[in-house]
Structure 1
Amino acid sequence: GIASTILFVYPVMVAVIMAVCFKEKISAITVFSILLALSGIALLYQGDDGKPLSAIGILLVLLSSLSYAIYIVGVNRSTLKELPTTKLTFYAILFGLSVYIVRLDFCTQLQMVPSAWLWADVLALAILPTSVSLVCTALAIHYIGSTPTAILGALEPVTALFFGVLLFHEQLTPRLMAGILMIITAVTLIIIGRSLVKKMSMLLQMNKK
């Protein structure tokens, strides 16, 4: 739970990288949306009875978050932008596979999947949250940019909680509902943010006239 919560600081990292390295202007609405989304994600986390956190664990999840932020920015701001989405996804998965091969002592620790039902689970994991997710992320980065895509990614814990309540009968508390509302509000602000700023500026100009 803590790892998942810390991982979702990557929208902040994306916004900082875009601002520092590529001089992208960060609007007040974007900053507010990032803070609101992170606060909502924090509310979705359920604590582990105040146990001390591992410094190495925190460092590893921050590095994971940074690597994801760099990937999102790289897809948008490098020659990878010209690469077809399917090819980009293939290479991303291939690199991930190479890491797993090393971690599994070059496949010597692999175990056979014991049943057909578990094979269906493996295929579902490979297709939906891996291949489809990576393809959609790459497309989103091309169409709307790195920062909005990163912030929209904050919906992930909301969908996880939704299926947890729907399928596994997890309890939906007022705290969790508040967290969901904060994240959805943040995402909505990102979606309508630009048009909202334009309308506000037009109204201010009309009032001045």
Structure 2
Amino acid sequence: MNKTVGISCAVGAAFIYGFAPLLAKIAYMDGCNTITLTFFRSLISFPVMFAILKTKKIPIKVSRKDFFTLIILSFLGAFATGLMLYGAYNYISVGLTTCIHYVYPVLVALVCVLFFKEKISMTKLAAMGLSIIGLLSFLEGDLQVNFIGIALALGSGIAYAAFLVVMDKTEIKHLHPFLISFYCASVASVCLFIFGTATNQIVYHIAPRGWVLMFVMAMGVSVIANSITPIAVKNVGPTVTAILGMFEPIISVILGILFLKEAFTFRSVVGCILVILSVVMLTLERDKTNEKLE
């Protein structure tokens, strides 16, 4: 276990995920929709992941037990989470969607404590509390209620919490991260194609910029971020990975200000500071732990 690698991967994944709302919003302007975006994001990344596995000579075949666990993991992460999260952007704002989606760190912590008898340090609890307060600070002027959007955002948080717990509490986390991403992309592609075809929601007449954005999201989210998240879970556990994931909304807020002309208020500044402070607290706790081990 290398906590430095784990924290770096968790923050790096959050940074990449932070770009997703902006790219999705722009892709929607170019004729894309939720099903199409999620489907092509997974489909485009599939051959890339296959090529990486072949280049690194990583066997694709897994045991039957791991295969079924990967199916569940893929459905929760690449399919359900992405589908509901991107779907929520159609009904409520990026800020409100992000705040509701980020119920998942609390859910991960509760599941680990109640069902797996894990202990959470006061530092982690404080960091989680600061992060939640920071996220709530982003809600200023952003309270338009749409129950479909809220339900989708909440569902995405629940699905992602289950994704992190399953990854940590099964033997899956010992598989190569690229192999996990490969299966997630393949299963998500099949599920989304069936769902999109049945509902007639997959569109192909998309502006060139939209195709470019979907390719960028495939490489960034499906290939890189989805591959380093298992590394984070393996090295620092699902709770710390979930808390560090709250760095994502800071990126979303900054990008929204720069490209979507969203307001940047004093409360937004406070929210960013609190989330960053929670990351610093977890990093310092890591340092103290290393000192004790030494």
TM-score range, shorter chain: 0.7 to 0.9
Structure-2-length-normalised TM-score: 0.61
CA RMSD of aligned residues (A): 2.4
Percent of residue pairs identical: 27
Indicate the larger mover: 180-189 or 1-10: 1-10
- Conserved 8 A contact 1:140-1:149: yes
| Residue 76 (structure 1) aligned to one of 165, 168, 182 | 168
Task: Report deviation, 1:80.
Answer: 0.6
The match for 1:42 among 110, 119, 136 is: 136
Q: How far apart, in 2, do the equivalents of 1:11 and 1:25 lie?
A: 15
- Bigger drift between 12-21 and 190-199 goes to 190-199
**Alignment of structure 1 residues 1-209 onto 2, 5 Å:** 1-48=95-142, 51-54=144-147, 57-106=149-198, 108-196=200-288
How far did residue 169 of structure 1 move? 4.4
Does the Cα contact within 8 Å between 1:113 and 1:119 map onto a contact in 2? Answer: no
Q: Quote the Cα distance in structure 2 between the aligned partners of 1:171 and 1:121.
A: 24
The CA deviation at 1:26 is 0.5
Off by >6 Å, runs of 4+ in structure 1: none
Q: Provide the rounded CA distance (Å) in 1 between the counterparts of 2:203 and 2:99.
A: 30
Cα distance change, pair 162–125 in 1 and its aligned pair in 2 (3 A): same
Q: What is the TM-score when the length of structure 1 is the normalising length?
A: 0.83
Post-superposition shift, 1:197? 7.1
- Equivalent-residue separation in structure 2 for 1:70 and 1:195 (angstroms): 29
Task: Give the residue type in structure 1 aligned to 2:243.
Answer: I
User: Relative to 1, partners in 2 of residues 1:196 and 1:53: Cα closer, same or farther, differing over 3 Å?
Assistant: farther
Q: Structure 1 residues 165 and 57, CA, compared in 2 at 3 Å: closer, same or farther?
A: closer
Of stretches 159-168 and 71-80 in structure 1, the one that deviates more from structure 2 is 159-168
Q: CA deviation at 1:9?
A: 1.1
Unaligned runs of 5+ in 2: 1-94
The separation in 2 between residues aligned to 1:104 and 1:146, in whole angstroms, is 31
Q: Which has the larger radius of gyration?
A: 1
Equivalent residue number for residue 206 of structure 1: none
Contact 2:140 2:267 in 1 (8 A): no
Partner of 2:69: none
Change (3 A) 1:167 1:193: same
Instruction: Output the CA distance in 2 between the equivalents of 1:65 and 1:115.
Output: 31
